[in-house]
Every structure is written in C-alpha cells, then in structure tokens.
Amino acid sequence: MDESRPIGSPITCRKDASNVGRDGVGRRRGRKAPVETIRCAGLSKSYGGAAAVDGLDLAVGEAQVYGFLGPNGSGKTTTMRMLLGLVRPTSGRAWLNGRALPDPDGLARVGAMIEEPAFHPWMTGRRNLEVLALHGPPLPHTDAVAGALENAGLTSVADRKVKTYSQGMRQRLGLALALMRDPSVVLLDEPMNGMDPAAVREFRATMRSLADRGTTVFLSSHQLTEVEQLCDRVAVVASGRVVAEGRPRDMTAAVVRVVLAPADRTEARTLLAARFPVRDKGPDALLVGAGDGRAVNELLGRAGVWAHQIRVERSDLEDAFLDLTTSDGEVAGDATAPR
Ligand SMILES: Nc1ncnc2c1ncn2[C@@H]1O[C@H](COP(=O)(O)OP(=O)(O)OP(=O)(O)O)[C@@H](O)[C@H]1O
C-alpha cells in the first residue's frame, strides 16, 4: 500500500477528467465517440475576479446516476446553472446531449431542480404541474403529469393544496416538475434535502429506475452515505475544479480501525502518524491508512500501547471526500512531511 496516500483516497479512480477529448466532445480521431450526456471542458465562472468554477472538466455518460460532490461553495450550483444556460461561463465550453451550449432547443430535453421551485400554495400539487405545463414545450403524452407525480412518490397527496405540504413533499413536487417532460437528463441540486428516510429510499429507487430506462441523472448532495448507495459514478469538486472522479467503491480503500482507551489515543495517534496516514474516527477510534493490521499492532505493542480492537475494513465515501477536500488528512497523513 502507498503509505503517503491519504485515508480513503481513490486507488484506481481518475484524479481528473483527463479523458476529455481534444475536440472537447470526447472524440479522438479513429475512435468511436463515447456516448456522453454532459461534457464540460475548462468551464469557468468568476464573480468579481473570484473563481466560482475554475477550469472544470467533466464527462458524464448516459443512463447513469452521477453524483456531483463538493464542500459548500465549491461551485456545484454554479456549474449546474451554467449547464442550464442560467449563468454565462466566463470561459470554457459545455455540451448537453452532444450539443454545444447555449442551446435553447436542447434544453427542452433537460429536467432540473436547482432551487426549491415557487409553487402556488393555494393550488393542489397536481394543478400546479398542470399550470406549469402550459408554459414551454408540449408534454410528451397525456399522462405526463400523473406519471411525474407517481415517479416522485406524490400520487397520494397530489390533490392536496401545496400549502399543506411538508418541505420534503414540496421537494418531491419540484422533482415531479423536473420529470414531467420525460427528460433525457435531469440536473438535481441537493434533491434529498428535507426528505425523511422513507422518502430518500423511494427517491433512490426512482433515480435508479430512471437511469435503467436511459435517463442520465446528475445530482449534487452532501448526503454521502446515500450517494454511495445510489450513484454509479461521482466527481468530487473543490475550489471549482474536479479533484477526483470515479466509481464510489474505487474511491475507498482498505484502512485499519484501531479502537483504544481515551487515555491511549493521543500517544497512539502520534506513534502511528509517524508512519501512516491517521484520522480520528468517532470518539474512540483511529483510522489508519495501512492495509496491514499486524504492522499497526506491532508498532503500538512495541511502545506498550494496547488497543481494544484492530480491524482491517474499507473506508467509506465520507472519508475519501474529507481527504480530497480538506487539508486535515494531509496534515496527519503525509508521512514524508517534516515532524
Ligand atoms: N451570483 C453570485 N455572485 C457572487 N458570487 C457568487 C454568486 N453565485 C455563487 N457565488 C460564489 O461562487 C462560489 C461557488 O458557489 P456555488 O453556489 O456554486 O457553490 P456550491 O458548491 O453549490 O455550494 P453549496 O454546497 O453551499 O450549495 C461561492 O464562493 C459563492 O459565494
């Protein structure tokens, strides 16, 4: 194992979106064009000289659930707004369904929920969608509103006034709106906000079945456990750039969990950090970036520090995310750093 690698950081995942083709749409001469629904090449947006999105490269294949992760202020919403033509990029390019943006016609095939939509509170959920359907392109079929309500898990409350809806129900109505025109791609900014666990489970099933039917789902979320279960691939952004991309399971790594008495924790941390990346995990454990529990056991035992438990396990996406987006893992984890 590479001992200088922070805990949980990607082993095989791509560290950047370097498969962006020379022509910007994934085509390389002599090769078959990959099917991509979303592509960004050097996409940037600055506000008053400060970069919100900074040369972002991204390639999202069709018919998958794709997680777009990053800390607060890392540029996720701004990227989505650029993809929807709501914000003009400062530089760089983007394509949706292979068509260069801005592309007003192409937007008809895109569903989106970027911020909580404003619904008429005195109308029912169903009526709100029917009214909103009058604007924009015609619906694909007569059952489109009912189908979208069903897909968003709202059928049982569809005829209640929106003012009686909980936040999670309003969120689901926003999702129904995004799905109403059978889009080929949906962009969802924090779609699980306000949903209770049952609603989140239903949401996961809905997203899965959308992807199985050919729709590309591109969503941002801070709920990393859900993302890990739901997404086929994820991109992690920090300061407006993609810092890692790949399948969630490739972003995790073997780690050693060491459970200790509180009195031993500081000494154990110092001993282990001299050789391995180390992170505090909960009140009684350390996560050590070593694939070998014996080496950890030996190091502690030689110094007379005895652990309650030493177990090799896999880190989760949250650990990988923290390592990729904070300096904490690097401080503890860089075995080559001067001490
Ligand atoms: N209209 C604007 N004017 C000035 N600065 C902006 C504007 N919109 C976004 N920003 C800034 O751009 C940066 C990226 O913001 P953005 O909303 O895209 O981040 P985010 O990753 O979606 O964050 P969060 O997870 O909190 O939703 C932030 O520093 C934000 O303050």
Strand partners, 69: 236
Q: What is the mean pLDDT of the chain?
A: 83
**How far apart are the CA of 102 and the centre of ligand 1, in A?**
21
pLDDT value of position 33? 54
**How far apart are the CA of 47 and the centre of ligand 1, in A?**
9
Euclidean distance between CA atoms 36 and 39, whole angstroms: 7
Q: Is 96 exposed, middle or buried (0-12, 13-18, 19+ CB in 10 A)?
A: buried
Matching residue, tokens 């750039």 = 241
155: Cα separation from own chain's centroid? 28
pLDDT value of position 135? 83
Atom 4, ligand 1: which residue's CA is nearest?
A: 47
Q: Which atom of ligand 1 is closest in space to residue 53's alpha carbon?
A: 14
* Amino acid identity at 204: R
State the pLDDT confidence band at 327, using cuts at 50, 70 and 90: low
Q: Is 87 exposed, middle or buried (0-12, 13-18, 19+ CB in 10 A)?
A: middle
Q: Are 96 and 144 in contact (CB under 8 A)?
A: no
Three-state DSSP string of 202-234: HHHHHHHHHHHCCCEEEEECCCHHHHHHHCCEE
Would you tell me how many other CB atoms lie within 10 Å of the CB of residue 299?
18
Please state which of the ranges 7-11, 130-134, 153-157, 220-224 shows the lowest mean pLDDT.
Answer: 7-11
pLDDT value of position 188? 95
In this prediction, does ipTM exceed 0.90? yes
Distances (CA, A) of 273 to 262, 283, 309: 17, 18, 18
Give the list of residues 6+ apart from residue 124 with CB closer than 8 angstroms, or none. Answer: 158, 159, 160, 161, 162
Euclidean distance between CA atoms 109 and 186, whole angstroms: 9
Q: Residue 23 pLDDT > 50, yes or no? A: no
Atom 29, ligand 1: which residue's CA is nearest?
A: 73
Matching residue, tokens 């890392």 = 74
pLDDT value of position 66? 97
Q: Residue 278 pLDDT > 80, yes or no? A: yes
Average pLDDT over residues 187-208: 88
Atom 2, ligand 1: which residue's CA is nearest?
A: 47
> Which of these, 57, 22, 89, lies nearest to 237 by C-alpha position?
57
Q: Residue 121 pLDDT > 90, yes or no? A: yes
> Residue 137 — φ and ψ, nearest 5°?
-65, 155
3-state secondary structure (DSSP) of residue 8: coil
State the pLDDT confidence band at 29, using cuts at 50, 70 and 90: very low
pLDDT value of position 111? 92
Euclidean distance between CA atoms 184 and 213, whole angstroms: 10
Q: Residue 219 pLDDT > 80, yes or no? A: yes
pLDDT value of position 22? 32
Q: Residue 32 pLDDT > 70, yes or no? A: no
pLDDT value of position 314? 80
Q: Residue 339 pLDDT > 60, yes or no? A: no
Euclidean distance between CA atoms 31 and 160, whole angstroms: 53
**How far apart are the CA of 80 and the centre of ligand 1, in A?**
11
150-170 core/surface letters (b: 16 or more CB in 10 A; e: else): ebbbbeebbeebbeebeebbb
Top mean-pLDDT range of 152-156, 159-163, 225-229: 159-163
Q: Has this prediction a pTM greater than 0.95?
A: no
**How far apart are the CA of 78 and the centre of ligand 1, in A?**
6
